[in-house]
Structure 1
Amino acid sequence: MKQFLLLLGILSLLSLGSADTIAFNCNSNQVGGAKCKNWGTTFTWDRPSNRTSEQRTRGAGCGRPNRCSRPPYGSGYQCDEYPFKSVRESDRGNQVNRCVAARQNNAQGQALRNFYYSRGEFRNRGCHNQPPCRLSVAFSNASRLGYCQSRPNCRNDGNEYTRSGPARRDEVQESEFFRLASGTVLFAPGGARIGDVVYHVSFRNETLLEERDVVDGENDDDDDAVVENMQVDEDPIVAVVEGWMDENEGF
């Protein structure tokens, strides 16, 4: 049985045995890279050094300063890259980046860090600070977005870039959708099964997400307030569905 972790509105982490899967809000950079740049959805956390992380960040076009520090973005926004700088596959270069709200990016980073180092409510889950650790991604909360459909419209919405400029997208094959007991629909390109468990992640104090910039896997030295800020609840997969139109149907 697979085990999934869902960060409400942002991402889910799914423990798959051979690989753990993270399901992100489809209104983010990850789906553009996974579905429309053929980056795929399975990666390897390798606990990179600070130097390696910086190289990967620059390769994604997110070195400082970057386009997200200028209008129409600027204060309150961060440069989000896919694949993450915490995974080995980003060494290939040509990652995609997107300007996202700092709170969203920090929440994603904190969940990944807790998962990598099995801290807080991930004490018995995740990578246990033992690289290499494989993980996959899936998506949720995106019924209104064209490029988050089973067969997506991969036209760039103007906020999908590589280091060299606006990203060019390619059409990809269809993916599967699943409904959780809560009614949430999960878009899982890597697959899932009825009975797999999703862990909903929320934050006790969202102010911490605004006050601190969180890096997605460089080290494990966050203080206790940050580590314990996350709460996890279970939500199993109950059905295979046709797409986003089935969200909350019958609930």
Structure 2
Amino acid sequence: MMKSFALATVLALSASLSSAASPKLMLRQNNPDDLMIFNCVDMPEVCTNMCWGAYCRSIGTGLTYDKPDASEKRRRRRAAGCLVSGGNRCSTRKGYDAGYQCDEYPFASTVGRGASDERVNRCVPAGQNSRQGGTINSFYQSAYCGGGPCDFTASFGNPGAAGVSYCNAYATPEDCDVDDDNQVVGPGGTQDPTEDETADDGTDETDPGEEEPTTEDKKLRKIKKRSKTFVGRYRTAVGTVIDVPGGAYIGQRAFYVEPVNATLWAEPAAALMGVQEMVDNLVVKETKVVEEIETWNAPAPAPAV
């Protein structure tokens, strides 16, 4: 009887320790060089904005999800230029077409780890913005990020897709010279938005997909330095072509999302879905870099005027 009790106690203690250790095990998966792939076929205007900020404004692709509260995210959206006096920059109130939202880079939920602390924005179709938000928040909720905080590197899948601009700017800096009134550098700063500076599209609220449990270990990983002029083009195990400034290595992990219901991922449904609805329709999958297509050395792109 005593032996049975002792055995049961040991098994219970072992299970408890195993359960308590799991958050740390998940956190150990976090590597700032791991790639979050945004499929530019599904969000060409969003990729255009991210590439313009990353390459033409030297913001870079290294990002840290630091679990900001709603107030901090509003400050970052204001710094990016999305929250302006009289309403969202991309709203009909400001004379923009219906069905557009203001997309900021870096994301309001992140800080950049590049050479510039600027924040930029572009008016993009609401459906594309929703797909980007679903991709980001699904990643945050995955075992990789564990609810955050976590470091990662944004990567642009199929950067040559129709409707995508600036994603080759790392190799050809002159691409940044294209005149585009829709690309805006935000005013920066850390001021709180006024009551008159609102998004009007629900993005002022806390993103439901980011309300995740905190992990026990909140220490950010040491960032591995990479060359700012070396660029590589690679293929993943699922066939996606990606460009990685600084280069990648065979076997490097990358994450992407796939919709459970393709109809909800497509227009017009995507534009009508909330963040958590989009997250619930996505599955985060892991792949890896399997082939180096080409690499080149390129001059660092000059900031756009």
TM-score normalised by length of structure 1: 0.70
Distance 1:69 1:83 in 2: 20
RMSD, aligned α-carbons: 3.0
Counterpart mapping for 1:92-103 below 5 A: 94-103=118-127
Quick check: 1:79–1:99 contact (8 Å CA) kept in 2?
A: yes
State the 4+ residue runs in structure 1 displaced beyond 6 angstroms: none
Q: 2:48 aligns with which of 8, 12, 28?
A: 28
Aligned pair 1:240/2:292, yes or no? yes
1:148 maps to 167
Aligned pair 1:194/2:250, yes or no? yes
Change (3 A) 1:89 1:140: closer
Shift of 1:232: 4.0
Shift of 1:72: 7.5
SS in 2 for 1:231: strand
Shift of 1:99: 1.1
The number of aligned residues is 206
1:75 maps to 98
Higher strand share: 1
Counterpart mapping for 1:44-193 below 5 A: 44-63=64-83, 65-70=87-92, 73-89=96-112, 94-116=118-140, 118=141, 122=142, 125-131=143-149, 133-143=150-160, 145=164, 147-149=166-168, 150-152=170-172, 153-158=175-180, 159-163=182-186, 173-193=229-249
In the alignment, structure 2 segments of 5+ residues that lack a partner are 1-28, 188-227, 296-305
Which whole-Å deviations, capped at 9, do the CAs of 1:112-145 have from their partners, x for residues lacking one? 12222x2xxx3xx2321232x2121111222265
Higher helix share: 2
SS in 1 for 2:135: helix
Distance 2:32 2:159 in 1: 27
Distance 1:114 1:175 in 2: 28
Report the AA paired with residue 60 of structure 1: A
Distance 1:226 1:176 in 2: 31
Q: Percent identity between the aligned chains? A: 35
In the alignment, structure 1 segments of 5+ residues that lack a partner are 1-14, 165-171, 215-221, 244-251
Report the AA paired with residue 37 of structure 2: A
2:271 maps to 210
Change (3 A) 1:157 1:174: farther
Change (3 A) 1:82 1:103: same
Distance 1:236 1:55 in 2: 35
Structure index of larger Rg: 2
Distance 1:230 1:143 in 2: 24
